[in-house]
Amino acid sequence: MADGARGGATASGRMWAHDADPHAAVANTAVEWHGRDWAMIELGTDLPTVPLLLHEAFHAFWQPEWGWVTPAGGGDTSLSQPVGRAAVITELRAWGSYLETGDPAVGRGARSIRDWRLDQLSDAERERQDYFDLWEGIPEYSALRWDRTPTGEVADLARSGPRGGSWFRSLCYTTGPVLGYVLDHFDPGWRLGLRAAGSLSSMINSAVPPTESGAADLLDAYGYAETLHAEESAHVAWSIEDRVLRDRFATMLWIPNPGSVTFDPREVRHWDLGTFYRILSVHTDDLRLIVEDGAIVTANWSWIGLPAPESYDGSALTVTGPGWRMESMSPVHEHGVVLSSEAPE
Protein backbone atom coordinates (compact mmCIF):
# COMPACT_ATOMS: atom_id res chain seq x y z
CA MET A 1 0.00 0.00 0.00
CA ALA A 2 1.39 3.40 -0.94
CA ASP A 3 2.01 5.87 1.90
CA GLY A 4 -0.58 8.26 0.52
CA ALA A 5 -3.19 5.53 0.65
CA ARG A 6 -2.67 4.71 4.31
CA GLY A 7 -4.41 7.85 5.55
CA GLY A 8 -4.65 6.80 9.19
CA ALA A 9 -4.86 3.05 8.58
CA THR A 10 -3.22 0.77 11.13
CA ALA A 11 -0.91 -2.08 10.20
CA SER A 12 -0.93 -5.68 11.38
CA GLY A 13 1.81 -7.53 9.56
CA ARG A 14 1.09 -7.09 5.85
CA MET A 15 -2.57 -6.19 6.45
CA TRP A 16 -3.85 -2.64 6.82
CA ALA A 17 -7.15 -1.71 8.46
CA HIS A 18 -9.09 1.53 8.12
CA ASP A 19 -12.60 2.56 9.10
CA ALA A 20 -14.75 2.72 5.96
CA ASP A 21 -16.70 5.79 4.97
CA PRO A 22 -20.15 5.21 6.57
CA HIS A 23 -21.79 6.57 3.42
CA ALA A 24 -19.86 4.30 1.05
CA ALA A 25 -21.80 1.75 -0.94
CA VAL A 26 -20.32 -1.64 -0.05
CA ALA A 27 -20.40 -4.20 -2.87
CA ASN A 28 -18.36 -6.79 -4.71
CA THR A 29 -16.68 -4.44 -7.15
CA ALA A 30 -13.56 -2.42 -7.91
CA VAL A 31 -13.15 1.10 -6.57
CA GLU A 32 -10.71 3.96 -6.82
CA TRP A 33 -9.55 5.17 -3.38
CA HIS A 34 -6.62 7.40 -2.43
CA GLY A 35 -5.23 7.29 -5.95
CA ARG A 36 -5.24 3.52 -6.24
CA ASP A 37 -7.61 0.88 -7.58
CA TRP A 38 -8.88 -1.69 -5.11
CA ALA A 39 -11.00 -4.83 -5.12
CA MET A 40 -13.84 -4.52 -2.62
CA ILE A 41 -15.59 -7.59 -1.19
CA GLU A 42 -18.70 -7.46 0.96
CA LEU A 43 -18.11 -9.85 3.86
CA GLY A 44 -21.06 -11.78 5.26
CA THR A 45 -21.04 -14.62 7.75
CA ASP A 46 -18.76 -16.72 5.52
CA LEU A 47 -15.41 -15.94 3.97
CA PRO A 48 -15.56 -15.13 0.25
CA THR A 49 -14.62 -17.85 -2.21
CA VAL A 50 -11.29 -17.73 -4.02
CA PRO A 51 -12.95 -17.22 -7.46
CA LEU A 52 -14.91 -14.24 -6.08
CA LEU A 53 -11.74 -12.66 -4.71
CA LEU A 54 -9.95 -13.24 -8.00
CA HIS A 55 -12.89 -11.89 -10.04
CA GLU A 56 -12.88 -8.58 -8.17
CA ALA A 57 -9.08 -8.40 -8.12
CA PHE A 58 -9.15 -8.74 -11.90
CA HIS A 59 -11.54 -5.78 -12.09
CA ALA A 60 -9.08 -3.70 -10.08
CA PHE A 61 -6.48 -3.80 -12.85
CA TRP A 62 -8.77 -4.51 -15.82
CA GLN A 63 -10.85 -1.33 -15.53
CA PRO A 64 -7.98 1.18 -15.24
CA GLU A 65 -6.17 -0.55 -18.11
CA TRP A 66 -9.15 -0.65 -20.47
CA GLY A 67 -11.00 2.41 -19.20
CA TRP A 68 -14.66 2.77 -18.30
CA VAL A 69 -16.99 1.90 -21.13
CA THR A 70 -20.59 3.04 -21.24
CA PRO A 71 -22.87 -0.04 -21.18
CA ALA A 72 -24.74 -0.85 -24.35
CA GLY A 73 -28.41 0.06 -24.74
CA GLY A 74 -31.38 -1.50 -23.07
CA GLY A 75 -31.49 -4.54 -25.32
CA ASP A 76 -34.67 -6.61 -25.63
CA THR A 77 -36.74 -9.11 -23.67
CA SER A 78 -35.41 -12.28 -25.32
CA LEU A 79 -33.91 -13.64 -22.10
CA SER A 80 -37.33 -13.58 -20.43
CA GLN A 81 -39.09 -15.29 -23.34
CA PRO A 82 -39.34 -19.09 -23.77
CA VAL A 83 -37.71 -19.13 -27.22
CA GLY A 84 -34.77 -17.03 -26.07
CA ARG A 85 -34.22 -18.99 -22.87
CA ALA A 86 -34.46 -22.36 -24.62
CA ALA A 87 -31.94 -21.18 -27.22
CA VAL A 88 -29.48 -20.15 -24.49
CA ILE A 89 -29.82 -23.50 -22.71
CA THR A 90 -29.32 -25.39 -25.98
CA GLU A 91 -26.21 -23.42 -26.94
CA LEU A 92 -24.66 -23.92 -23.52
CA ARG A 93 -25.37 -27.66 -23.61
CA ALA A 94 -23.56 -27.83 -26.94
CA TRP A 95 -20.54 -25.97 -25.60
CA GLY A 96 -20.58 -28.21 -22.54
CA SER A 97 -20.40 -31.27 -24.77
CA TYR A 98 -17.48 -29.77 -26.65
CA LEU A 99 -15.58 -28.99 -23.43
CA GLU A 100 -16.18 -32.54 -22.26
CA THR A 101 -15.22 -34.32 -25.49
CA GLY A 102 -12.73 -31.92 -27.07
CA ASP A 103 -14.14 -32.95 -30.45
CA PRO A 104 -13.71 -30.02 -32.91
CA ALA A 105 -16.81 -31.18 -34.82
CA VAL A 106 -18.89 -30.77 -31.66
CA GLY A 107 -17.39 -27.31 -31.19
CA ARG A 108 -18.32 -26.34 -34.75
CA GLY A 109 -21.87 -27.50 -34.06
CA ALA A 110 -22.01 -25.36 -30.93
CA ARG A 111 -20.82 -22.39 -32.99
CA SER A 112 -23.67 -22.98 -35.47
CA ILE A 113 -26.21 -23.12 -32.64
CA ARG A 114 -24.76 -19.89 -31.24
CA ASP A 115 -25.10 -18.19 -34.64
CA TRP A 116 -28.72 -19.35 -34.83
CA ARG A 117 -29.43 -17.99 -31.34
CA LEU A 118 -27.79 -14.62 -31.95
CA ASP A 119 -29.65 -14.18 -35.25
CA GLN A 120 -32.88 -14.05 -33.23
CA LEU A 121 -31.70 -11.07 -31.17
CA SER A 122 -31.96 -7.38 -31.88
CA ASP A 123 -28.76 -5.47 -32.62
CA ALA A 124 -29.04 -3.73 -29.23
CA GLU A 125 -29.35 -7.05 -27.39
CA ARG A 126 -26.36 -8.57 -29.18
CA GLU A 127 -24.30 -5.50 -28.28
CA ARG A 128 -25.50 -5.62 -24.69
CA GLN A 129 -24.59 -9.29 -24.29
CA ASP A 130 -21.20 -8.68 -25.93
CA TYR A 131 -20.57 -5.88 -23.44
CA PHE A 132 -21.31 -7.98 -20.38
CA ASP A 133 -19.47 -11.02 -21.72
CA LEU A 134 -16.42 -8.77 -21.92
CA TRP A 135 -16.72 -6.72 -18.71
CA GLU A 136 -18.07 -9.39 -16.36
CA GLY A 137 -17.57 -12.64 -18.24
CA ILE A 138 -13.82 -12.20 -18.75
CA PRO A 139 -13.16 -11.50 -15.03
CA GLU A 140 -15.23 -14.60 -14.20
CA TYR A 141 -13.26 -16.68 -16.73
CA SER A 142 -9.98 -15.32 -15.39
CA ALA A 143 -10.94 -16.14 -11.80
CA LEU A 144 -11.66 -19.76 -12.73
CA ARG A 145 -8.43 -20.01 -14.73
CA TRP A 146 -6.32 -18.60 -11.88
CA ASP A 147 -8.05 -21.01 -9.49
CA ARG A 148 -7.12 -23.87 -11.86
CA THR A 149 -10.73 -24.89 -12.31
CA PRO A 150 -10.80 -28.07 -14.44
CA THR A 151 -12.41 -27.95 -17.86
CA GLY A 152 -14.90 -30.59 -16.72
CA GLU A 153 -16.28 -28.25 -14.06
CA VAL A 154 -16.78 -25.52 -16.67
CA ALA A 155 -18.58 -28.09 -18.85
CA ASP A 156 -20.87 -28.76 -15.87
CA LEU A 157 -21.37 -25.00 -15.47
CA ALA A 158 -22.45 -24.80 -19.11
CA ARG A 159 -24.96 -27.63 -18.72
CA SER A 160 -26.43 -26.22 -15.49
CA GLY A 161 -27.28 -22.97 -17.31
CA PRO A 162 -27.27 -19.32 -16.25
CA ARG A 163 -27.68 -18.38 -12.60
CA GLY A 164 -30.73 -16.75 -11.05
CA GLY A 165 -34.33 -16.53 -12.14
CA SER A 166 -33.61 -13.64 -14.49
CA TRP A 167 -30.71 -13.88 -16.93
CA PHE A 168 -30.79 -10.31 -18.25
CA ARG A 169 -27.78 -9.33 -16.14
CA SER A 170 -26.41 -12.69 -14.97
CA LEU A 171 -26.03 -14.60 -18.27
CA CYS A 172 -22.44 -13.41 -18.70
CA TYR A 173 -21.29 -15.15 -15.51
CA THR A 174 -21.89 -18.40 -17.38
CA THR A 175 -21.19 -17.50 -21.02
CA GLY A 176 -17.97 -15.62 -20.21
CA PRO A 177 -16.05 -18.52 -18.67
CA VAL A 178 -17.57 -21.09 -21.03
CA LEU A 179 -16.55 -19.16 -24.15
CA GLY A 180 -13.15 -18.41 -22.62
CA TYR A 181 -12.44 -22.10 -22.03
CA VAL A 182 -13.65 -22.89 -25.56
CA LEU A 183 -11.18 -20.37 -26.97
CA ASP A 184 -8.40 -21.88 -24.87
CA HIS A 185 -8.90 -25.08 -26.89
CA PHE A 186 -9.38 -23.59 -30.35
CA ASP A 187 -6.91 -20.69 -30.10
CA PRO A 188 -4.61 -20.84 -27.03
CA GLY A 189 -3.19 -17.37 -27.76
CA TRP A 190 -6.58 -15.67 -28.05
CA ARG A 191 -6.18 -13.41 -25.03
CA LEU A 192 -3.43 -11.41 -26.75
CA GLY A 193 -5.91 -10.36 -29.44
CA LEU A 194 -8.87 -9.63 -27.20
CA ARG A 195 -8.28 -5.91 -26.92
CA ALA A 196 -8.19 -5.47 -30.70
CA ALA A 197 -11.20 -7.75 -31.20
CA GLY A 198 -13.26 -6.00 -28.52
CA SER A 199 -15.67 -8.89 -27.90
CA LEU A 200 -15.80 -12.60 -27.18
CA SER A 201 -18.25 -13.08 -30.04
CA SER A 202 -15.75 -11.82 -32.58
CA MET A 203 -13.06 -14.07 -31.08
CA ILE A 204 -15.36 -17.10 -31.30
CA ASN A 205 -16.24 -16.22 -34.90
CA SER A 206 -12.55 -16.08 -35.83
CA ALA A 207 -11.47 -19.21 -33.99
CA VAL A 208 -14.40 -21.62 -34.38
CA PRO A 209 -15.88 -22.26 -37.84
CA PRO A 210 -19.58 -23.20 -38.06
CA THR A 211 -20.87 -26.40 -39.59
CA GLU A 212 -21.87 -26.30 -43.26
CA SER A 213 -25.40 -27.49 -42.46
CA GLY A 214 -26.07 -24.91 -39.75
CA ALA A 215 -28.01 -25.49 -36.52
CA ALA A 216 -31.27 -27.04 -37.76
CA ASP A 217 -30.04 -30.63 -37.64
CA LEU A 218 -28.35 -30.19 -34.27
CA LEU A 219 -31.06 -28.76 -32.02
CA ASP A 220 -32.77 -32.06 -31.24
CA ALA A 221 -29.48 -33.59 -30.11
CA TYR A 222 -29.42 -31.09 -27.24
CA GLY A 223 -33.11 -31.28 -26.33
CA TYR A 224 -34.26 -27.94 -27.74
CA ALA A 225 -37.91 -28.97 -28.33
CA GLU A 226 -38.34 -30.39 -24.83
CA THR A 227 -36.62 -27.38 -23.28
CA LEU A 228 -38.83 -24.97 -25.21
CA HIS A 229 -41.96 -26.77 -24.00
CA ALA A 230 -40.77 -26.58 -20.38
CA GLU A 231 -39.93 -22.89 -20.71
CA GLU A 232 -43.35 -22.15 -22.25
CA SER A 233 -45.06 -23.83 -19.30
CA ALA A 234 -42.96 -21.92 -16.77
CA HIS A 235 -43.52 -18.64 -18.62
CA VAL A 236 -47.26 -18.65 -17.83
CA ALA A 237 -46.63 -18.30 -14.09
CA TRP A 238 -43.74 -15.91 -14.70
CA SER A 239 -45.92 -13.59 -16.81
CA ILE A 240 -48.57 -13.38 -14.09
CA GLU A 241 -45.95 -12.54 -11.47
CA ASP A 242 -44.32 -10.01 -13.79
CA ARG A 243 -47.63 -8.21 -14.39
CA VAL A 244 -48.29 -7.95 -10.66
CA LEU A 245 -44.79 -6.56 -10.24
CA ARG A 246 -45.23 -3.99 -13.01
CA ASP A 247 -48.50 -2.78 -11.51
CA ARG A 248 -46.57 -1.57 -8.46
CA PHE A 249 -44.86 0.95 -10.74
CA ALA A 250 -48.01 2.59 -12.15
CA THR A 251 -46.84 5.83 -10.52
CA MET A 252 -43.23 6.34 -9.50
CA LEU A 253 -41.01 8.60 -7.49
CA TRP A 254 -38.04 9.34 -9.76
CA ILE A 255 -34.69 10.44 -8.39
CA PRO A 256 -31.70 11.52 -10.52
CA ASN A 257 -29.03 8.83 -10.39
CA PRO A 258 -26.14 10.20 -8.31
CA GLY A 259 -23.77 7.66 -9.86
CA SER A 260 -23.24 5.52 -6.77
CA VAL A 261 -25.52 2.53 -7.37
CA THR A 262 -25.00 -1.10 -6.34
CA PHE A 263 -27.39 -3.95 -7.10
CA ASP A 264 -27.93 -7.71 -7.20
CA PRO A 265 -27.37 -8.90 -10.82
CA ARG A 266 -29.40 -12.10 -10.35
CA GLU A 267 -32.82 -10.40 -10.20
CA VAL A 268 -32.87 -8.03 -13.17
CA ARG A 269 -35.59 -7.61 -15.81
CA HIS A 270 -35.81 -5.54 -18.97
CA TRP A 271 -38.94 -3.36 -19.15
CA ASP A 272 -39.99 -0.61 -21.53
CA LEU A 273 -39.55 2.02 -18.81
CA GLY A 274 -36.06 0.79 -17.96
CA THR A 275 -34.32 -2.06 -16.18
CA PHE A 276 -35.89 -3.55 -13.06
CA TYR A 277 -33.51 -4.34 -10.17
CA ARG A 278 -34.97 -6.25 -7.25
CA ILE A 279 -32.26 -5.16 -4.79
CA LEU A 280 -30.52 -1.81 -5.19
CA SER A 281 -28.79 0.76 -3.01
CA VAL A 282 -27.45 4.29 -3.34
CA HIS A 283 -24.99 5.89 -0.93
CA THR A 284 -23.65 9.43 -1.29
CA ASP A 285 -22.47 12.05 1.20
CA ASP A 286 -26.01 13.35 1.70
CA LEU A 287 -28.32 10.59 0.43
CA ARG A 288 -28.98 6.97 1.34
CA LEU A 289 -31.46 4.82 -0.60
CA ILE A 290 -32.07 1.17 0.23
CA VAL A 291 -34.33 -0.83 -2.11
CA GLU A 292 -35.28 -4.35 -1.02
CA ASP A 293 -38.18 -5.07 -3.38
CA GLY A 294 -37.70 -3.36 -6.70
CA ALA A 295 -36.59 -0.19 -8.48
CA ILE A 296 -36.24 0.83 -12.14
CA VAL A 297 -33.14 2.38 -13.70
CA THR A 298 -33.54 4.07 -17.07
CA ALA A 299 -31.51 2.75 -20.02
CA ASN A 300 -29.13 5.72 -19.87
CA TRP A 301 -28.74 5.36 -16.09
CA SER A 302 -29.95 8.94 -15.55
CA TRP A 303 -32.94 8.18 -13.30
CA ILE A 304 -34.00 5.69 -10.64
CA GLY A 305 -37.75 5.01 -10.39
CA LEU A 306 -39.37 3.81 -7.15
CA PRO A 307 -42.96 2.64 -6.53
CA ALA A 308 -44.75 5.77 -5.32
CA PRO A 309 -45.38 5.99 -1.57
CA GLU A 310 -48.91 6.43 -0.23
CA SER A 311 -48.02 10.00 0.64
CA TYR A 312 -45.05 12.12 -0.33
CA ASP A 313 -43.65 15.12 1.54
CA GLY A 314 -40.75 16.63 -0.38
CA SER A 315 -39.70 18.69 2.63
CA ALA A 316 -39.07 15.56 4.71
CA LEU A 317 -35.62 14.11 5.34
CA THR A 318 -36.88 10.51 5.22
CA VAL A 319 -39.34 9.01 2.75
CA THR A 320 -40.55 5.40 2.82
CA GLY A 321 -42.34 3.56 0.02
CA PRO A 322 -43.22 -0.01 -0.96
CA GLY A 323 -40.02 -1.97 -0.45
CA TRP A 324 -37.68 1.03 -0.14
CA ARG A 325 -36.46 3.78 2.19
CA MET A 326 -34.70 7.06 1.37
CA GLU A 327 -32.79 9.15 3.91
CA SER A 328 -31.33 12.56 3.13
CA MET A 329 -29.30 15.22 4.93
CA SER A 330 -31.49 17.87 3.30
CA PRO A 331 -35.14 17.98 2.17
CA VAL A 332 -35.73 15.20 -0.33
CA HIS A 333 -37.07 17.54 -3.03
CA GLU A 334 -33.65 19.21 -3.22
CA HIS A 335 -32.38 16.05 -4.94
CA GLY A 336 -34.59 16.74 -7.96
CA VAL A 337 -37.20 14.10 -7.12
CA VAL A 338 -40.13 13.87 -9.58
CA LEU A 339 -43.48 12.10 -9.08
CA SER A 340 -44.60 10.71 -12.46
CA SER A 341 -45.80 7.63 -14.33
CA GLU A 342 -43.01 8.09 -16.89
CA ALA A 343 -39.30 8.81 -16.58
CA PRO A 344 -38.40 12.52 -16.72
CA GLU A 345 -36.51 13.66 -19.79
d(CA 315, CA 317) in angstroms, rounded, equals 7
Helix runs in the chain, H state only: 3-6, 50-66, 82-101, 104-119, 123-132, 138-146, 151-160, 172-186, 194-197, 200-207, 224-247
The strand pair at 295-297 and 275-277 is best described as: antiparallel
In the structure, what pLDDT confidence band is assigned to residue 21 with cuts at 50, 70 and 90?
low
In the structure, what pLDDT confidence band is assigned to residue 24 with cuts at 50, 70 and 90?
low
Q: What is the pLDDT of residue 52?
A: 85
pTM recorded for the entire structure: 0.81
Largest CA distance in the chain: 67
269 or 87, greater pLDDT: 87
Whether 248 and 258 have beta carbons less than 8 Å apart is answered as no
Question: Which of 29-43, 62-76, 177-191, 288-302 has the lowest average pLDDT?
Answer: 62-76
d(CA 251, CA 256) in angstroms, rounded, equals 16
How far is Cα of residue 298 from the mean position of the Cα atoms in its chain? 16
Q: At what angle do helices 82-101 and 104-119 cross, to 10 degrees?
A: 160
Q: What is the pLDDT of residue 19?
A: 67
d(CA 103, CA 114) in angstroms, rounded, equals 17
pLDDT tens per residue across span 96-132: 999 999 999 999 999 999 999 999 999 989 999 999 9
Question: Which of 59-63, 199-203, 310-314 has the lowest average pLDDT?
Answer: 59-63
